[in-house]
Amino acid sequence: MPAASSDEQAPYRVAVGAFGNADNATRQAARFRDAGFPVFTGVQGDLTIVLVGPYALESEAEAVAARIADGDFGIDPVVYRFRPDAGTPGASTPAPSAASEAAPAPASRAPAAPAAAAPAAAPPAASTGPIATSSSGRSLQVGAFADANSAAPLRERLAGVGLTPFEVREDGLTKLIVGPFDAEGLVLARERLAELGIESFPR
């Protein structure tokens, strides 16, 4: 298995879970740590995200994701590129040990940051056109909030780049979803979200 990078801002991470309950994230982190994976956590809205890595090369992260997918974990891991220059902080909270409580990552990792936190360099005009949705395919979850009103800033940011979100109420949280997209649209949507520093998870 590829070794994790010693650089906390190495660009590639493998997401292996998102939990509204930090205790569940702690258990998931311990499960992967016990299996020999380098684990840390981050925060997306009101969710604690469990991550494996980081890795300097996409091929390394893909190899780790494939190993996880082929294992007995029963999850669909997601490889994404972390962009510290896109309005998100570079450091994530290390995954807690089994004997400690989960420590949330800095709140500034939440995707519901106000528009002022967007990257200083505006994306090309071509990146603001609508992306066609499909009657079938996969959607992307882009945020989860305990208070539906807290989702408003992110909803406005998404609409400004051609992504129209809808809300789903699950596990006591209001979740913002975009899609569904065909395979090409899914790739385009994830790239556009990455330009904004917004993490996304297929569902």
Interval 82-100: pLDDT, tens: 776 544 333 343 333 333 3
Gap between the Cα atoms of 48 and 23, Å rounded: 9
Residue 113 has pLDDT above 70, yes or no: no
Label residue 144 exposed, middle or buried (CB < 10 Å: 0-12, 13-18, 19+). Answer: buried
pLDDT tens per residue, range 26-80: 999 999 999 999 999 988 888 899 999 999 999 999 999 999 999 988 888 999 8
Q: What pLDDT was estimated at residue 58?
A: 93
Domain spans, the chain: 12-109, 115-202
116-162 residue pLDDT tens? 444 444 444 446 677 778 777 788 888 877 767 777 788 777 877 77
Which pLDDT score, from 0 to 100, does residue 99 have? 31
Amino acid 33: pLDDT: 94
The model's confidence at residue 103, banded by pLDDT at 50, 70 and 90, is very low
Asked whether 44 and 80 are in contact (CB, 8 A), the reply is no
Domains 12-109 and 115-202 equal at CATH topology level:
yes
Buried b / exposed e along 112-124 (16+ C-beta atoms within 10 A)? bbeeebbeeeeee
CA atoms within 13 A on the CB side of 96: 17
Q: Is the pLDDT of residue 102 over 70?
A: no
DSSP per position, 104-133: PPPGGGSTT--GGGS-SSPPPGGGGS----
Q: Which pTM does this prediction carry?
A: 0.46
Question: Is pLDDT at 9 greater than 80 in this prediction?
Answer: yes
Given a cut of 70, whether residue 16 has pLDDT beyond it is yes
The CATH topology of domain 12-109 is: Alpha-Beta Plaits (3.30.70)
CATH number of 115-202, picked from 3.30.70.1070, 3.40.50.10300, 3.30.390.10, 3.90.76.10: 3.30.70.1070
